[in-house]
Structure 1
Amino acid sequence: MNSPRKGDFLMFTGIITNLGKLKKKNGSVFIFEADRKFCRKLGSGASVAVNGTCLTIFEKPTLTSFSVELMPETLNRTMFKHIKLNEPVNLELPLSPAAFLSGHLVQGHIDGVAQLKKFTKKGNSLILQFSLPENIGKYVAEKGSIAVNGISLTVALATKSYFTVGIIPYTWTNTMLKTIKIGNFVNIETDILAKYLEKLMKK
């Protein structure tokens, strides 16, 4: 399998396929651990979404780990400035041309960081409430799409200061959300269509 590389047109779906964890951090270099099946699909120069952030693998992966280097801009804009060793992360490979689009189009370009404020149980689901950074609030709409740590979700409620999403049991069990705690930070990517619409409206 040829791994997509930096410079290719890359998109993700927000459907998490694997979980990993932070194994080691040395300055701007982050080493993540993942299972062998996932690591076999990677290569030096390949792209991978880690908690929704599109990153480039800069050296040949081992059987169970891969290394990425984060620019200062990426560290400042994402939750990686808060991440701790052994903390689980969501992993996704780029969308292939023949793949079925199950979630929504996700670029892997993080708009900002949100903080989990509370969660409540509703039937068989959980409602998570996150703070909404002022600079991206205009792109978040009820029933619209949003990526939270790379997970494609539907906005249930959006206000000026927060938004909520509903999490079904499958998503809770198969993503890093099962370990999230009040006060934890997550990466947020808003729907790219909202940004294009804003640009068109300004013309």
Structure 2
Amino acid sequence: MFTGIVEEVGTVVSVERKAESARLTVEAPLASQGTAVGDSIAVNGACLTVVRVDGTRLGFDAVPETLQRTSLRMARPGQRVNLERALAAGGRLGGHFVQGHVDGTGRILSITPEGGAHVVRAAAPPEVQPYLVPKGSVAVDGISLTVAGVEDGGFKLWIIPHTWKATNLRDRRPGDPVNLEADILAKYVHRLMSAREGRAGVTEELLATAGFDGPVGGP
């Protein structure tokens, strides 16, 4: 489990491509501290297992499913990647629950500086679109972000200066792919509502089924 708060922007040192998989080596001075083989680290939002630790360099194996579903299939030496170590027991949840299970890749449509911040518009694949709601959460390349607006086939984000400086978003250009993970809570709600399809709106029975057993309405 992760939080979507990027700890470090690492640099891809090498990509060793095999028949259907790839070995990525990433320079990570911070994320490598206290990290051991077998630990989980989110690399641009994809949960990968550390298979090698060599000083400040970490090695990861990306299996076919990861390469097919994420932008890591296009990883190249020199590329900067967002890194986050798995959430430790008792750690603070600064963003939102991020599993590191990328749902699909989106595409940057535009990046516009505005009022000291940056407005980013991105296209989202069909498997992500149902879970995007204004003021909801989405992980973009492993960054926990708030959806500012939902648009036809995509969404809008406001990126504050700190996030712009502390992540690899500033490297992105229109047309670039980004890994997207929908909010797990949105997935559960969508599943629950889909199971109740055909019923009008949110009913007391639906709320009770979801665990909300208190009285409905004001005091």
TM over 0.5: yes
Unaligned runs of 5+ in 1: 1-10
- Specify the SS of the correspondent of 2:36: coil
How many residues align? The count is: 191
Amino acid at match of 1:33: E
Q: How far does residue 135 in structure 1 lie from its aligned partner after superposition?
A: 2.0
Amino acid at match of 2:4: G
Measured in 2, the distance between the counterparts of 1:32 and 1:116 equals 24
Measured in 2, the distance between the counterparts of 1:21 and 1:76 equals 21
- Specify the SS of the correspondent of 2:25: strand
In structure 1, the residue matched to 2:38 is 45
Measured in 1, the distance between the counterparts of 2:33 and 2:111 equals 36
> Which of 26, 29, 38 in structure 2 is aligned with 1:32?
26
Amino acid at match of 1:30: L
Tell me if structure 1 keeps the 8 A contact 2:15–2:75.
no
In structure 1, the residue matched to 2:58 is 66
TM-score, length of structure 1 as denominator length: 0.90
Measured in 2, the distance between the counterparts of 1:164 and 1:70 equals 30
- State yes or no: 1:22 paired with 2:46: no
Q: How far does residue 83 in structure 1 lie from its aligned partner after superposition?
A: 2.3
Bigger mean CA offset, 104-113 vs 25-34: 25-34
- State yes or no: 1:78 paired with 2:70: yes
- Specify the SS of the correspondent of 2:108: strand
- Specify the SS of the correspondent of 1:39: coil
Give the alignment's Cα RMSD to 1 decimal.
Answer: 1.1
- Specify the SS of the correspondent of 1:129: strand
TM-score, length of structure 2 as denominator length: 0.84
Measured in 1, the distance between the counterparts of 2:175 and 2:39 equals 32
Pairing 1:1-203 to 2, within 5 Å after superposition: 11-27=1-17, 28-35=22-29, 37-59=30-52, 61-201=53-193, 202=195
Unaligned runs of 5+ in 2: 197-219
Residue identity over aligned pairs, in percent, reads 39
Measured in 1, the distance between the counterparts of 2:58 and 2:122 equals 30
Q: How far does residue 63 in structure 1 lie from its aligned partner after superposition?
A: 1.0
- Specify the SS of the correspondent of 1:57: strand
Stretches of 4+ aligned residues off by more than 4 angstroms: none
